[in-house]
Structure 1
Amino acid sequence: MLNPETSLASLWLIVLRLVELHGIDPQAFSQEVGVPAATLRDVHARLPSRLADVAFAKAAALIPDPAFALRAGECWHPSNLGTMGYAWLSSRTLHTGLKRLERFGCILGNRSTYRCVNTPGSLRFVLEHGRGDTPIGHSIADYTLSLLLGMCRTNYGGKLNAAALFLRRPEPADPQPWPKLFGCNVRFGALEDSLLLDRDTVDAPLPSANVPLANTFDRILSEQLAHAFDDDIVSRCKAHLLRELTSGVPSAQETGTALGMSQRTLQRKLHELGLTYQSLCDEARHELARRYLDDTNKSVTEVTFLLGFSEQSAFTRAFRRWSGMSPTTYRHNPAA
């Protein structure tokens, strides 16, 4: 089981490039914060999240510019985000990429959470960094949202702007760096840190999309989620189901055995979370159905049998129950 609050060590390479842009020796900075150089070369290594608080406090003390963290979007490389970075690049739309980040973001760092909220004509991406309304929290919000903007511009194009930006930080003496970077109105002193993106923008097909590759990365991320958070019974159970569903729906007893527990223990643990084994099977089946339908090389008939349905009509009924639309409607408008 992971330390309750850790993050990928490779993410620190972004932080070190950021301070270097502001004239700080990254090697000396890393040593002073307590980040071992060898750890940054280990793709599986994780570091305590508290070190990020130390780093941002130190950077804020050394850099006179209050907007210093807004340059994070210039500093990232897909490899810094591990598998997530490459899954992001292969996403069909920004919407699917942001939903991927919502689900698997805890692999990057389990102190922060991300949430996609559908609003009329737009999508709101909400960040909860776990630092509250504090100076360190304000810097981390700047860092994370500017990094996200940079990621979106990598996939969509450099001219992409946000529709609106909401920040918990009080309005600074010079507020111009924020609207200049994000290309939109900024509301300081907001109740949350969030970024609003236009619906047509987030649902537009991306030139970098590679759905089969994205699906492969999703499987890897599911496994990483289940392995890293071994006390997360839902993630472990879903990872097993996603592996096995193409061969038929495994029974609760089979899944319990695969997870090293009895069927009764599995069902009890799920019941304590307000879940049932059947609801988890439906959720996993729905997720796998969406992955397959995103791949236009697979016909709906092929998807039907890959998911273990004997007839397309049965699959259509199940998909309508899960999503409120037919498989064909989803394929033509996945964000509906």
Structure 2
Amino acid sequence: MSNFDTGFVSSAYVRVLFEYLKNRGVDASALLGVAEPEAADNTLLRYSMQLWISFLRSAATHLEDPLLGLKLGQIIRPAHFGVLGYILASCPTLGASLLRYQAYERLMHEMDKYPMEMHVDGSEIRFIWNGGDPNGSARLSHEFAVAAFSQISRAMSGEHLVATEVWFVNSEPLDTRPYDDFFGGKVLFNQPTTAIQVSLAYLNIPLRQPDPTLVHILEKQAEGFLTQLPKESEFVMHVRRCIANLIHSGEPGLEQVANALSIAPRTLRRRLHEHQTAFRELLDDIRKHMAEQYLRDPSLQLTDVAQLLGYTEQSAFQRAFLRWTGTTPKTFQKKMPD
């Protein structure tokens, strides 16, 4: 599994997908099996990268559109990124905006390794997304990432920026014209990595609405958001992802998760203790987060939510939710805005 297939993405990405599907008359909640994230959550609420990839696949299959990733990236606007988007759009140049993006990237996604690298080659700069499956497991997410990178740069600068070259790891589609038309430069497939190359001079292009005062104010808010994100080791993040992947099949036990991670149960317990956490704490935290998300979906009954969280009895879920939040699932739902 590549590092682009693991990690987390902000719910801002999921909101973009919901927007796209709703504009095409699709019941996104029913299709994806989750409620639409609230705008207020788009910085701190996160989804596993594997779940994001599965959302894209489900949407592409339903729409019978293999170009979904490319098209989805083309509707991105700075506002979709919340506070970070306004910071980026208020910078003086594209280069300054990129530096701010690097500083607050965790607000949008978090991978096992730094997901985007920059390489300067003479008068060109190449942005590289590490990882990727030549067989196409993350093709849609790669195409979305590169298209979004191009689109948001164009939106902030007001310039139709043309890439010198664009690389994709997946095989060449039958019709490459949509890629050529959007990116404007040479688009290559079956490459060793996913990347986009542009003129180094692009970094000096001024943005349309520079506002250093606003940047200063919003950066304080962004710093606050960063402190609220979980600060976990790569190992704990792997355990979290494993639990989340197994949870729909029933309550995953420590031995089951250890087996999936190819380590001994005793080793898993010890390593979690070294990271000042425990298996039950992680399981409860994941279930609480997922429960709050599912309970926002009016199409799901409490029995459905309990089953999705791996509970065999609704009463067990209700007791657990009361323990986590101090309120019942029904009371939580009643507090949701109409």
Give the TM-score of the pair, scaled to structure 1.
Answer: 0.60
Task: Tell me the distance in 1 between the aligned counterparts of 2:119 and 2:29.
Answer: 36
Counterparts of 2:15 and 2:45, CA distance in 1: 13
1:107 lines up with 2:107 in the alignment: yes
Which secondary structure state, in structure 1, belongs to the residue aligned with residue 53 of structure 2? helix
Q: Are 1:169 and 2:170 an aligned pair?
A: yes
Shift of 1:15: 1.2
Residue number in structure 2 paired with 1:7: 9
Deviations 1:262-282 (A, max 9, x none): xxxxxxxxxxxxxxxxxxxxx
Give the Å deviation of 1:131: 5.1
Cα distance in 1, alignment partners of residues 35 and 169 from structure 2:
32
Look up the equivalent residue of 2:76 and give its one-letter code: W
Secondary structure of 1:141's partner?
helix
The alignment partner of 1:106 has SS state of helix
2:33 corresponding residue in structure 1: 34
Where does residue 90 of structure 1 map in the other structure? Answer: 90
1:181-200 map, 5 Å: 181-200=182-201
Structure 2 gap segments, 5+ residues each: 1-5, 234-338
CA apart distance, 1:151: 0.4
Deviation at 1:133, TM superposition (A): 3.2
Query: Separation in 1 of the partners of 2:48 and 2:92?
Result: 33
Counterpart residue number, 1:179: 180
Q: CA deviation at 1:19?
A: 3.3
Q: C-alpha displacement at 1:134, in angstroms?
A: 4.0
How has the CA–CA distance of structure 1 residues 63 and 90 changed in structure 2, closer, same or farther, with 3 Å as cutoff? Answer: same
- CA distance in structure 1 between the partners assigned to 2:38 and 2:205 by the alignment: 38
Aligned to 1:275: none
For residue 328 of structure 2, what is the aligned residue in structure 1? none
CA displacement at 1:110 relative to structure 2: 1.1
Q: What RMSD, in angstroms, separates the aligned Cα atoms of the two structures?
A: 2.5
Q: What SS does the corresponding residue of 2:97 show, helix, strand or coil?
A: helix
> For the residues of structure 2 that align with 1:100 and 1:12, how far apart are their CA atoms?
22
Matches within 5 A, 1:18-97: 18-20=20-22, 23-25=24-26, 28-37=27-36, 39=38, 42-43=41-42, 44-97=44-97
1:279-300 alpha-carbon deviations (Å, 9 max, x no partner): xxxxxxxxxxxxxxxxxxxxxx
1:132 lines up with 2:133 in the alignment: yes
SS in 2 for 1:196: strand
Distance 1:18 1:158, change over 3 A: farther
In structure 1, the partner of 2:212 is: 211
Give 1:83's aligned amino acid: V
The Cα of 1:53 is off from its aligned counterpart by: 1.7
Whether the aligned pair in 2 keeps the contact of 1:18 and 1:71 (CA below 8 Å) is no
Q: Is 1:122 the equivalent of 2:124?
A: yes
Deviation at 1:99, TM superposition (A): 2.6
- Cross-structure match for 1:146: 147
Query: Hey, what's the Cα distance between the residues in 2 that align with 1:122 and 1:216?
Result: 33
Deviation at 1:41, TM superposition (A): 5.1
- List gaps (5 residues or longer) in structure 1: 233-336
Q: Tell me the matched-pair count.
A: 225
Structure 2 counterpart of 1:227? 228
Divergent runs of 4+, >4 A = 38-41
Distance in 1 between residues matched to 2:94 and 2:226, nearest whole Å: 22
Q: Which amino acid aligns with 1:76?
A: I
Residue 75 (structure 1) shift = 2.4
Q: Is the 8 A contact 1:76 1:147 kept in 2?
A: yes
Identity among equivalent positions (%) equals 18
The residue matched to 1:135 in structure 2 has which SS?
Answer: coil
Is residue 95–residue 204 contact of structure 2 (8 Å, CA) maintained in 1?
yes
Structure with bigger RCO (C-alpha 8 Å, 6+ apart) = 2
Residue 102 of structure 1, CA deviation? 2.7
Q: Aligned to 2:138, what secondary structure does the other structure show?
A: helix
How far apart, in 2, do the equivalents of 1:42 and 1:204 lie? 32
